[in-house]
Amino acid sequence: MAGPENSDSKAPGLILHQARLYDLTVWLMTLGRERAFREKILRLARLKPGESVLDVGCGTGSLAIAARQHVGPAGIVTGIDASPEMIARAEKKAARARTNVAFEQAPAQELPFPAAQFDVVFTTVMLHHLPRASRDQCAQQMRRVLKPGGRVVAVDFAPRAEPKGFLSAFHRHGNVKLDDIIASLEAAGLIVTESGDLGFRNLQYALATTRGST
Ligand SMILES: C[S@@+](CC[C@H](N)C(=O)[O-])C[C@H]1O[C@@H](n2cnc3c(N)ncnc32)[C@H](O)[C@@H]1O
């Protein structure tokens, strides 16, 4: 879900600035089923009440806001994105939903958190924005902030031979091979326990963990 926007030297990648347009694009791409799309991703992590969650490249915050309900009042949810516009919109959406989610502008390659802070780290359709070296850096950072036994869920678009249909013509997005996502996660020292098609458009996922237990 990337438009041809500018990149930032501190956060190499495609930083999106059209936050309002982004939500409309997601609505179109999910044919109004964004909530079902988000829940499918959240279920992969098997979130438990009280867990701490980070969403890397959170965009306008939809996944993080939905995650809040899974971890309950004792849980903590944080989202980071390099785009100030995305973060501003995410904060507005959380306030509107009367949900306590912390959003922060930060690069995925340099997460501003101490080590071993989160039970679960998500990254959804963000990795295709990054060049290979930055993807590896991001994976290392996700691994660093994860508690022992914590989980990473990475979701992104698979390459497709020919874009099909009206929506594809209206909006083309990038992609990244599942093998490349897995390679970055494994190079960071994570163990990939599950991977495959998400069952939503041409999205694929990898679920990974650290050694040890929470
Ligand atoms: C296609 S959007 C996905 C947003 C959200 N995860 C979702 O599922 O709707 C990709 C997001 O990654 C952000 N992004 C791109 N490069 C980044 C980087 N280096 N660090 C942090 N965020 C980045 C963009 O600003 C954008 O909000």
Tokens at residue 79, please?
């989202």
Tokens at residue 123, please?
């990254």
What architecture (CATH level 2) is domain 35-209? 3-Layer(aba) Sandwich (3.40)
- Whether ligand 1 lies within 6 angstroms of the CB of 82 is answered as yes
- Whether ligand 1 lies within 6 angstroms of the CB of 108 is answered as yes
% of the chain surpassing 90 pLDDT: 73
Rg (CA), the chain: 16
**Using an 8 Å Cβ cutoff, are 158 and 204 in contact?**
yes
In SS3 terms, 36-52 reads as HHHHHHHHHHCCCCCCE
pLDDT at 213: 58
Residue partners of 69: CB distance under 8 A and separation at least 6? none
- Whether ligand 1 lies within 6 angstroms of the CB of 81 is answered as yes
CA of residue 180 to ligand 1 center, whole Å: 18
pLDDT in tens, 200-209: 889 999 999 9
- Whether ligand 1 lies within 6 angstroms of the CB of 156 is answered as no
- Whether ligand 1 lies within 6 angstroms of the CB of 13 is answered as yes
Alpha carbons 175 and 115: distance in angstroms, whole number = 29
CA of residue 127 to ligand 1 center, whole Å: 8
- Whether ligand 1 lies within 6 angstroms of the CB of 129 is answered as yes
Query: Which residue in 72, 137, 145, 68 sits closest to 103, CA to CA?
Result: 68
- Whether ligand 1 lies within 6 angstroms of the CB of 125 is answered as yes
Out of 1, 6, 16, 153, mutate this one to test ligand 1's pocket (max ligand atoms within 8 Å of CB): namely 16
Tell me the pairing of strands 203-209 and 191-197. Answer: antiparallel
Q: Return the DSSP state at 19.
A: H
Q: Atom of ligand 1 at shortest distance to CA of 86?
A: 27
More confident residue, 140 or 1: 140
Q: Atom of ligand 1 at shortest distance to CA of 13?
A: 16
Domain-wise residue ranges, the chain: 35-209
Mean pLDDT of the chain: 89
Residue 54 clears pLDDT 90, i.e. is over it: yes
Tokens at residue 84, please?
């100030």
**Using an 8 Å Cβ cutoff, are 148 and 212 in contact?**
yes
- Whether ligand 1 lies within 6 angstroms of the CB of 11 is answered as yes
pLDDT at 2: 41
pLDDT in tens, 138-151: 999 999 999 999 99
DSSP-derived 3-state class of residue 181: helix
CA of residue 59 to ligand 1 center, whole Å: 5
Alpha carbons 169 and 191: distance in angstroms, whole number = 37
Residue partners of 159: CB distance under 8 A and separation at least 6? 175, 176, 177
DSSP-derived 3-state class of residue 147: strand
Residue nearest to atom 8 of ligand 1 (CA): 124
